[in-house]
């Protein structure tokens, strides 16, 4: 797993971005960018090169699902691995995220081991 890539963490709850960023650094990622909404995340993704996006589902004004959909429509961003984090474990949400092209899904609360295994499964997936 390449931990030299830049990772984007998006959540409107600043404490959550800090927690995820710290967990990622514990795993070995050196460069983690934290943003608090989908719109600024989309701008950052279009400006810079990221190897992974970890986004909360429930955000305003652009949800994580909308961010994912925008990424998948954009030829430059379509291949970036995307992990959705949410407190929602409803089957229809998982299905909606899968249909939109999410690479993996984490339900809150989670620990470092869960995050690490999800990140590894996404980044070690054959292209």
- The pTM assigned to this predicted structure is 0.95
What is the pLDDT at residue 125? 78
Kindly report each contact of residues 58-61 with a partner whose C-beta sits within 8 Å and lies 24 or more positions away, as own/partner.
58/12, 58/86, 58/87, 58/88, 59/10, 59/11, 59/12, 60/12, 61/37
Neighbours of 1 (CB within 10 A): 13
| Concatenated DSSP letters of 77-117 | TTTS-EEEEES---HHHHHHHHHHT-SEEEESS--HHHHHH
- The pair of three-digit structure tokens given for residue 45, joined into one six-digit string: 């993704």
Helix (H) or strand (E) holding 5: none
What is the pLDDT at residue 127? 60
List strands edge to edge, sheet with 82-86.
31-35, 6-10, 52-56, 82-86, 104-107
Q: Which of 48, 44, 26, 27 is nearest to 35 (CA)?
A: 44
- From first to last of its 127 residues, the chain has per-residue pLDDT tens of 889 999 999 999 999 999 999 999 999 999 999 999 999 999 999 999 999 999 999 999 999 999 999 999 999 999 999 999 988 778 898 899 999 999 999 998 999 999 999 999 999 977 6
Domains, in order of start, for the chain: 6-112 (3.40.50.2300)
């Amino acid at each position: 797993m390449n931990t030299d890539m830049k990772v984007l963490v998006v959540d409107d709850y600043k404490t959550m971005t800090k927690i995820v960023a710290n967990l990622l650094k514990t795993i070995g990622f050196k460069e983690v960018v934290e943003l608090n909404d989908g719109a600024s995340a989309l701008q950052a993704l279009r400006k810079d090169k990221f190897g992974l996006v970890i986004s909360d589902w429930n955000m305003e004004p652009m949800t994580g699902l909308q961010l994912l959909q925008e990424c998948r429509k954009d030829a430059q961003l379509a291949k970036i691995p995307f992990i959705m984090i949410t407190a929602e474990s409803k089957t229809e949400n998982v299905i909606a995220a899968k249909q939109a092209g999410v690479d993996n899904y984490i339900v809150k609360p989670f620990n470092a081991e869960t995050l690490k295994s999800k990140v590894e499964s996404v980044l070690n997936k054959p292209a």
